[in-house]
Amino acid sequence: MIDNHQLFFEGDALYEDMLQGISKAQERVWMESYIFAADRTGQRFAAALKKAAQRGLDVRLHVDAAGILFVTPMAFLNALKKAGVQVRVFHRWSWRDPWRYNRRNHCKLLLLDEHHVYLGGFNIHDESSRQCVGSGRWHDTHIRLDAPEMAHQAAELFQVFWTRRVPRRLRRSTPPDLFRGDALVTNRIPRHRHALRALFHQGLSHAHSKVLLTTPYFAPDRRTRNQLTEAVSRGVEVRLLLPAISDNRLVQMTARFIYDRLLRAGVHIHEYRPRSIHAKTIVVDGAWASVGTANLDYRSLFHNYEINYTTINPSICRALEAQFAEDLNESSEITLETLSRFSWWERLGGRLGWRLRWWL
């Protein structure tokens, strides 16, 4: 069990910690980010990466082609390359293989030397910084693990996409037992393609008393929807925390389209009202938790490449549970009466989105 860790719920605190870590790194700085914008926040990280490269460190940055579209000009990335940072863009558009563009590297991962790992929902952009955008910044969750064993695992996973090769040991490995200790769960290994879907399924099937689940994008497949309602039928208290303010209106309407069945089955649904919530966490029975990049939607479960950290660490479980309770105080519980007040065009948008859920 990993005791040395730090949870972050505010972007400014996380960014300062990451930047300090980069400045103190002595051997390597390996970073993946779905979005790495060329804004004020991105410029700060770019400067830190350049300085690390100038110190002779092994500095790598892997960004996603879809994630940086419209927010990161190639001139910005070329400047990093000229400063000695190794930069790669995952799944650029190709006429020879256009469908690969749909398979995105949604991971947010920072590895410092052989000891420190950061992962979670925060991208590198101003939208998550109160200093940059004020009270409307995104609400998210990230974790830092100060653990050589996790750093080693994360480095292996980073190398899979950097080198485009899966080592034999990983090819033959089996997904971890999520309820026996700490683990990194990813679907970037072919044999683990459905590992993130299994993560949610195991969490729901093992629950005895309570499930607290936060996700910004909610469009679960049929089996997951059934497991949510089956958990309630066993007497489990299931609470979903979803956004009232979303950066993707169609996805939000799609989520609301399936509220009715879940509410009638006894699932509690809450919408966080102050600002856009982007966290992806789950706590089961106060004894098992997960934080990472995977949303509970078709894109994360079947298309994107994701990484989550799962743990039975009591202090992490308590902290995530406490944050969930705090967020509930700023949320509104959705009822069947609430659904009746949704406009006709919102219901129409939800029906359309549900038909397109595989691609959203």
State whether 199 and 344 are in the same domain: yes
State whether 66 and 140 are in the same domain: yes
In the three-class reduction of DSSP (H, G, I as helix; E, B as strand; rest coil), residue 86 is classed as strand
State whether 82 and 189 are in the same domain: no
CA 313 and chain centroid, separation: 19
Q: Are strands 218-219 and 296-297 parallel, antiparallel or unpaired?
A: parallel
| Residue span of the structural domain in which 135 resides | 5-163
Number of structural domains in the chain: 2
Q: Is residue 172 part of a domain?
A: no
Work out the pLDDT band at 35, boundaries 50, 70, 90: very high
Is pLDDT at 222 greater than 90 in this prediction? yes
Cβ–Cβ contacts within 10 Å for residue 164, how many?
8
Is pLDDT at 296 greater than 90 in this prediction? yes
pLDDT at residue number 71: 96
State whether 155 and 190 are in the same domain: no
State whether 303 and 205 are in the same domain: yes
Q: Is residue 170 part of a domain?
A: no
Q: Is residue 346 part of a domain?
A: yes
The answer for 172, left when phi > 0, alpha when psi is -120 to 50, beta otherwise, is alpha
State whether 153 and 182 are in the same domain: no
pLDDT at residue number 1: 63
**Token couple for 111:** 């590895």
Q: Find, among 108, 179, 126, 119, the residue nearest to 145 by Cα.
A: 119
State whether 189 and 99 are in the same domain: no
Q: Is residue 168 part of a domain?
A: no
Is pLDDT at 3 greater than 80 in this prediction? no
What is the maximum alpha-carbon separation in the chain?
Answer: 61
Q: What is the pLDDT of residues 157-202, one digit of tens each?
A: 999 999 999 988 888 888 888 788 899 999 999 889 899 999 999 9
Q: Find, among 280, 266, 185, the residue nearest to 228 by Cα.
A: 266
What is the C-alpha separation between 222 and 167, in angstroms, rounded?
34
Q: Is residue 171 part of a domain?
A: no
**Token couple for 244:** 């009232």
Instruction: Please calculate the CA angle 41-47-53 and round it to the nearest 5 degrees.
Output: 140
What is the C-alpha separation between 104 and 92, in angstroms, rounded?
10
What pTM value is reported for the model?
A: 0.96
**What value does the CA radius of gyration of the chain take, rounded to a whole number of Å?**
20
Of 130, 163, 196, the residue that ends a domain is: 163
Q: Is residue 169 part of a domain?
A: no
State whether 187 and 50 are in the same domain: no
Question: In whole numbers, what is the pLDDT of the chain averaged over residues?
Answer: 95
HEC sequence for 295-345? CEEHHHHHHCECEEEEECCHHHHHHHHHHHHHHHCCEEEECHHHHHCCCHH
State whether 141 and 28 are in the same domain: yes
In the three-class reduction of DSSP (H, G, I as helix; E, B as strand; rest coil), residue 210 is classed as strand
Q: Is residue 360 part of a domain?
A: no
Of 163, 186, 212, the residue that ends a domain is: 163
pLDDT at residue number 96: 86
Q: What is the pLDDT of residues 123-147, one digit of tens each?
A: 999 999 999 999 999 999 999 999 9
Which has more confidence, 3 or 87?
Answer: 87
Q: Is residue 315 part of a domain?
A: yes
Do residues 335 and 263 touch, judged by C-beta distance below 8 A? yes
State whether 117 and 53 are in the same domain: yes
Q: What is the pLDDT of residues 173-184, one digit of tens each?
A: 888 887 888 999
Q: Which residues, 6 or more positions from 336, have their beta carbon under 8 angstroms from its beta carbon?
A: 260, 263, 264
State whether 46 and 133 are in the same domain: yes
Cβ–Cβ contacts within 10 Å for residue 20, how many?
11
Question: What CATH number does residue 189 fall under?
Answer: 3.30.870.10
State whether 262 and 118 are in the same domain: no
What is the C-alpha separation between 207 and 290, in angstroms, rounded?
14
In the three-class reduction of DSSP (H, G, I as helix; E, B as strand; rest coil), residue 123 is classed as coil
Q: What is the pLDDT of residues 232-283, one digit of tens each?
A: 999 999 999 999 999 999 999 999 999 999 999 999 999 999 999 999 999 9
In the three-class reduction of DSSP (H, G, I as helix; E, B as strand; rest coil), residue 186 is classed as strand
**Token couple for 52:** 């690390």
φ and ψ at 227, to 5 degrees? Answer: -70, -30
